[in-house]
Structure 1
């Protein structure tokens, strides 16, 4: 399976909120393959510092290769972004000037064997780290009611119950061990024209599983509860979400903190990609960027 080159989304928009004229500490909480950080490093002052986190040790190696630079300017750490306060403490840093949180997953994870793609004929793993239960375990072990809840809650899928029931029926014949087979099971519930649309019927199911397996909403909730305490005055936080649940969580928390006089929201409505970017990078179509500044 050919893996697309990962293209960072909304790069121009993200950079437009950053003041590169002074010494800064930048924190890329989900550095992935380093696309956004690469653009930041090119522009930041020589005495500035960029700290990049990623939960996946494999993708972090890709970022290390891409961001080859002076170690005094870039520090890359394998950790979950929700643990960023502990990371900063270990580094002896109290606060930063910029935070970027990209809640999407990298094209790196679409490669064969990672189990994130519904074209993967070898796996349905879906884990960023191996110390949690896999997507294969979830699909083959949880009951119809639990699967329905996952699809409805994390995928906002109307046909959640029907899909869950079909999965339970099919796994009785043989365990579901590949993304490709799960995709085919889901496809069987839809007419042919829906399988050829811009969004495949399996997309939201895989998204729901990924969010559930990796506890993505729990991680976001933890981050949103404390990020403001680690931003310097006039420091900027930028969050890119790809799911309405994530976006609602970010919007709600930003508004709460604005009412408390802690931050100023700089994007009353989320920034979305221009048509040209979507044409160039179809995976950017659901991206929403919200930005706030510490008061």
Structure 2
């Protein structure tokens, strides 16, 4: 499932390529036909993310609310002026990639734009503007809702480290330290902190040297605050890089390459059985909160 940094990149991309444009909204698959009819010919005025939720705000007081879930993905295309990543979401298809827009160039080149091609596959929603289009497939949530309903969704979510609004750190600290639930489960609870997924969970707990099974109420406020601050930092890096990278260059095989090879990008995630990068103890794997948990039994004994 795409984590919060990918959804924030989506919001930024929609704002960059569609903001202020009157969009043709359709549902080639047909499952979103009623919602598409409500949104069609509206102007996109804002694109925002909170955690794993994307909100596209239109001028008629309606919002396209999307949660990609495990299988959702947006594909983008357009003329030479339409810049951005070719695809953001999951699962990845061959040839698709997430790239920062300044590096992406146009998805298609050419002096004339004849409009989007015929949709391929089960396209739930198509947004088409003057210079390009975006197709949504496979999302868990795809609704046309009111601004009040969007506010109600936000009210159910915890603070988002990528927004990091005044009071968010204190809300996270209070939410974690009041619970007896293990830290590894709390980090996946979107009511406690919005946007963290399985990769960030494993990596953040390792970086902070925290026992995944430590009850939240056993963590002091200072340590909880440090966990929040590290989450803000690494997820912000994810927005910038378009990848989750939690290791510093000193751990990379080619530190001068700009970004690390995938196998150098993480401390523990998907490294079960391999030596811990710090202590050489084999990285462990188990299940917690219905997801695979990776951790180092030696380095992560702190509280």
Same fold (TM > 0.5):
no
Which structure is higher in strand share?
A: 2
TM bucket normalised to smaller: under 0.3
After TM superposition, the score normalised by the length of structure 2 is 0.25
Which structure is higher in helix share?
A: 1
